[in-house]
Structure 1
Amino acid sequence: MELLPNNHRPPTNPISGIGSSALALKRSRVVVSQSKRGCVTCKTRRVKCDEQKPLCRRCVQAGRLCGGYKYNHENKASAPLRPALKVGVAADSHTERLSCLAAHVLCLDNNGHPLQEDGVWGRIFLQLSNQVECVKAAATAFGAAYESSLNNAIEKRPCSAWHYYGLALTRLQSDINNGTAGPESLALASMVLACAEILSQQERNAFAHFLGAVQILTTYQDGQGASRSSAGILSTIKDELTKFDVLISSYAISQTPAFMYMESQWQGAAAGDDVFRDPELAINAAMLCLHRSYQFMESAAKLRYTYPSWKAHDPIMCKGQSDVVTQCRSVLDGLAALATTLQSQYSSATSTLREAETLAEIYALRTQLTSTIIYLMCVDSPFQTGYDEHHDRFQGIVSDAAASARLRRRAQTSAFKRFSTRPGVVSSLFIVSMKCRDPALRALATTLLNEQGREGPTDGHIMAAIGARVAAIETSACKASSGGSLAPGDVLEEQRVHGYGVSPPRLNGEGRRVVDVEFSRPKIPLVQGWGHVGYACLDNWIFWSEAIDF
């Protein structure tokens, strides 16, 4: 059990002479009665627990990570791990209510048990948000942002949400400047504020908080401002940051910053049979594979408009491309075998809702890996027609996404919509709706996309509206030139949309929710201008903006 840093322990007064030896001997003979209902940490240390809920006050005051409570010798965290104030119950403090709301949304299941007991969104978050002011303030800001999102606030957050967000920023900056909080608390507070910005669909601000957490951990790694006792917690937070990077990158694939090379404690996990016998290890292996793939794509994208294909010019990049594709395929195959095993367990009478959620996440990761393979295999060429070679993979994305969505619909609904830092199916389905030019499969992906809700920074309804608009732009141009019905691959290179950019939602003059989307394509089509036009220059591109309602 890792220790949390404690800078406020009372000093001990030494007692000299024989009296001190006698006192020590006398104390060593004192037998402290243990509570049968005490927390795990106090039982392990063989000391009396004060049984405070949701966290043992003795552990909190000593700076230890409270292990929670277990009854009837079950391997489940009991109800006392729930926040002391339940949402819906009248609370004396608005701050406490919002903080508890954040706990339910970020880390608790329908029964008030931690979704990931020993992860960041488990006992670490529950304890630090009760123990450290900057984490508490960030949790309150997230709760206010979540409540605002339920009210469909678009143009700006309500005054209360802005108020708590500002307080959290001020508190975090103060703790950074004064050194009054440990690096694990500062990094976690930054992550929670990033989640609050994602709820408001302000991805740039979220990314700034994410980089702030990275900088805090980098400072710690350079040997400043951390105790050995918090090393395990910092390592867990570091792992979560790597997964957070995957979530942000999957929204605008290959946009991971080049300097973000945070390696995790599970980086050495080989994608072998042993890894894929354990669901959590398999998920970690998949997340790390995605993390490394996005890093490669970020470096490869710089060469995208240098050559018609850089395969003939850069053997080092070709080797890197081959390596990451091979790794993605290996992890994808391992997840397929694990999904088959878990599917049989889920069909049995003894299956649990947790198993169904795990299987849904594995199918979602398969969609991410498949879409990543498509991008990796097309990253060496700027031509959009290269995506037509991956029709079977596009079909696999749609199939796995449908399986993941179906499993999540069967699971018990919660009073709160969960917020997860792990990627889902929305971004993968959006890639199908953007890059697959088979009309039937493209339409199916857009329909599935429209049935999804929010996943981190991505909104299924917004992505579906953008994908439908791109399909309409391309097919209308194609029909105008061909005059007949479309078949797969009939969209010509010069008629294809290359990229897009999207702003946060707003309300138009009629009170409808809209997003401003900027589309782009080469001013002179690649097939006509290559060798004469420098497509690395923005002047040779056409950009146009449209307001799309959803």
Structure 2
Amino acid sequence: MVRSDHPKSRSRVLPRSKLGCRTCKIRRVKCGEEKPSCVRCTSTGRKCDFADTQSSSSSSSSSPISVITSPLSLSPNTNTVWRERRAFAYYFECAASSIGGGLDVDFWRTVVPQVCRYEPAVWDAIITISALFERPQQCLDPVRQHHDNSVSFTKSHQDALGWYSRSVSAVRQRIEQGSVDVFVGLISCVLFICIEAIQGNPDGAMQLYRQGLQLIAALRPQIALAATNKASLLEDTIIPIFIRLGTFALASGGVPVTALLRDTEDASSEQFDSLKSAREAIVLLAIEIPSFERTCYKHLHQAHVSQVPEELNTTLFSLAARLRNWRTTFDNLMTVLHAKDIVSLQQIGTGALLLSYYEMLYVMLETCTSLSFMQFDAYLPNFQNIVEQSAIAPKASVRSDGTQPPFTFDLNIGLPLWFTSLRCREPHTRRVALDLLRQAPSVQGFYQCSIWAGVGQIIMEQEESYAMAMNAVHLTPQFGAFNSTNGPISSSEIAVSSYSAHADMRPNIPIELLIPEEARIGPIAAFRPMDGFPLGTTEADIAKWNRGPDQVFLRFSRSERSLTGDPCRIVFKYIPLDF
């Protein structure tokens, strides 16, 4: 393939493919071209027919696979060209379907490879992702990388860094020349977010995410009324990707992703025609409900009141109605799919994943109008269902070798399990949530699940440590002390497979007495001194740790009861994070 800088080649975002199956052509929809049966047909129970495309497949130049035989690299080094070809083949055959999940195969296996045929920056980004995806440990475990003597291991990482640098340079050059296609810029932005996230750089990924939001805000009004492929690509594919990423962004402190929802926030559907439409609907709620929860907390905390104002109650009722409607419509969809006997293991896993999000959002809405952490104890069945569904959900993302991918851009079980690890205080359910979180795809969205699990472990141990001390003093003989027998349980004591057997291990001790109110940890935040301190934090608060300005600290709060009988006061604690 010869590199082309011709303006016409840059503006052609979606080359027309002649390799689609006959069924998709008749339906006038884009075919993913997976053989022997494409995903669009198999996911809807249709018969897939490639009979009319066989004769043209050898001569057509629009097949993504044809890129392998004519890569965009101009390097005269044969070994370099071979490594690029191999990286693209691995991306197309192994990585693409895992990165976006089965519901977004069109974008990752069709749109992106087609764009890379005439855009060298996209080609370089794809093969970078491929190299990092195949050997993620070189990014997520730098110590191991330093001591590994494998030549191929080191060379793969060097190739990835070189390709990424070349891709970024090409995009910057286009921007400086004013010749970059905005859609190519957005696609490159998505790919660069992948690369930064896989390398364990959430700050870099978040910065790119913000830039992508700015590009969308500038472009959306320009093509809002245009019935073109570009408008469809933006609204139906790229914006939903950024909205899904917004669920991860909100978990870290908030990004103004709600601006993308302005045309869809009031949208509702009487029925879902696929799991993909059900996912898009729950994603909108997964943006709005956590945002609403934060608004309620801010009002209750700052105004020192016990109730939210009427306008917030109105919003609460509206969100609750939409969430109930989603569940009813989702149940109807699953009934139809089961009746047609077309439910695959992947669809079962996807359905379980969406149910875990539903349970998380339900608990958020039920508890967002009170500051008491004791109220979460009433929702133990919901937390248990999150764990149960999260144990099934990996069927949707499991690879052919039985493992989970190292990275995914799609919704995954990370957020519901993270929520459960922080809000559920039943010891066994909580530990199973952390165990499942450690088994999930290593990187989801911007973040490493190992870090989430590590923080969840710290919070659990802190709460149980406080509870041990408090219960030893305050519990009556009727219940006994939270001693070595009934005290904190080691993580190795309980496995996922033994969850049901251990769930009711302590029937004689009320859950609320296991972790008293004063022992429960409130909102948490992570910060580095070099970036500034959270409101109310001073340098003296962390001086005792004797750490550098780039050290990441975890700040958390809990209630502390005065010995004189005065009302509880909020105290803040700080712990360095060393993982």
Counterpart pick for 2:390 among 396, 401, 406: 401
- Which residue identity is paired with 1:235? E
Match of 2:169 in 1: 170
Mapped to 2, the partners of 1:435 and 1:300 lie a distance apart of 17
Q: Is the 8 A contact 2:289 2:364 kept in 1?
A: no
Task: Measure how far apart 1:209 and its partner are.
Answer: 1.1
Mapped to 2, the partners of 1:379 and 1:528 lie a distance apart of 31
Counterpart pick for 1:85 among 68, 82, 88: 68
Q: Is the 8 A contact 1:356 1:407 kept in 2?
A: yes
Task: Measure how far apart 1:319 and its partner are.
Answer: 1.5
Q: How does 1:64-83 map to 2 (within 5 A)?
A: 71-72=50-51, 81-82=64-65
Task: Measure how far apart 1:429 and its partner are.
Answer: 1.5
Task: Measure how far apart 1:182 and its partner are.
Answer: 1.9
Do structure 1's residue 362 and structure 2's residue 393 form an aligned pair? no
Q: Is the 8 A contact 1:293 1:324 kept in 2?
A: yes
Counterpart pick for 2:360 among 365, 368, 371: 371
Q: Is the 8 A contact 2:466 2:519 kept in 1?
A: yes
Q: Is the 8 A contact 2:525 2:555 kept in 1?
A: yes
Match of 1:63 in 2: none
Mapped to 1, the partners of 2:276 and 2:408 lie a distance apart of 15
Listed one character per residue, the Cα deviations across residues 387-428 of structure 1 (whole Å, up to 9, x for unaligned) are 22322211221121122236656x743799374322211221
Change (3 A) 1:414 1:326: same
Task: Measure how far apart 1:39 and its partner are.
Answer: 3.3
Listed one character per residue, the Cα deviations across residues 336-371 of structure 1 (whole Å, up to 9, x for unaligned) are 4434554566xx6xx57xx32122122112212221
Aligned-partner SS, 1:223: helix
Change (3 A) 1:236 1:126: farther
Task: Measure how far apart 1:262 and its partner are.
Answer: 0.5
Listed one character per residue, the Cα deviations across residues 127-167 of structure 1 (whole Å, up to 9, x for unaligned) are 11222233223223323432451435434994443333332
Match of 2:556 in 1: 520
Change (3 A) 1:530 1:243: farther
Do structure 1's residue 203 and structure 2's residue 202 form an aligned pair? yes
Match of 2:120 in 1: 133
- Which residue identity is paired with 2:175? I
Mapped to 2, the partners of 1:426 and 1:72 lie a distance apart of 42
- Which residue identity is paired with 2:234? L
Task: Measure how far apart 1:190 and its partner are.
Answer: 0.2
Change (3 A) 1:211 1:461: closer
Q: Is the 8 A contact 1:117 1:123 kept in 2?
A: no
Q: How does 1:30-69 map to 2 (within 5 A)?
A: 38-40=18-20
Q: How does 1:342-357 map to 2 (within 5 A)?
A: 342=337, 351=342, 355-357=344-346
TM-score normalised according to structure 1 size:
0.71
Q: Is the 8 A contact 1:430 1:464 kept in 2?
A: yes
If each structure's helix is expressed as a fraction of its own residues, which one has the higher value?
2
Match of 1:547 in 2: 578
Mapped to 2, the partners of 1:528 and 1:234 lie a distance apart of 62
Do structure 1's residue 321 and structure 2's residue 301 form an aligned pair? no
TM-score normalised according to structure 2 size:
0.67
Higher mean displacement: 180-189 or 490-499: 490-499
Q: How does 1:120-159 map to 2 (within 5 A)?
A: 120-151=107-138, 153-155=140-142, 158-159=157-158
Q: Is the 8 A contact 1:501 1:518 kept in 2?
A: yes
Aligned-partner SS, 1:362: helix
Identity fraction in percent: 12
Q: How does 1:220-239 map to 2 (within 5 A)?
A: 220-223=219-222, 230-239=230-239
Aligned-partner SS, 2:8: coil
Match of 2:378 in 1: 389
Change (3 A) 1:474 1:330: same
Task: Measure how far apart 1:194 and its partner are.
Answer: 0.6
Change (3 A) 1:546 1:185: closer
Task: Measure how far apart 1:292 and its partner are.
Answer: 2.6
- Which residue identity is paired with 1:142? I
Aligned residue pairs: how many? 465
Task: Measure how far apart 1:114 and its partner are.
Answer: 10
Mapped to 2, the partners of 1:159 and 1:494 lie a distance apart of 51
Listed one character per residue, the Cα deviations across residues 1-60 of structure 1 (whole Å, up to 9, x for unaligned) are xxxx983379xxxxxxxxxxxxxxxxxxxxxxxxxx953599999xxxxxxx99xxxxxx
Aligned-partner SS, 1:453: coil
Mapped to 1, the partners of 2:358 and 2:562 lie a distance apart of 29
Q: Is the 8 A contact 2:125 2:167 kept in 1?
A: yes
Mapped to 1, the partners of 2:393 and 2:101 lie a distance apart of 22
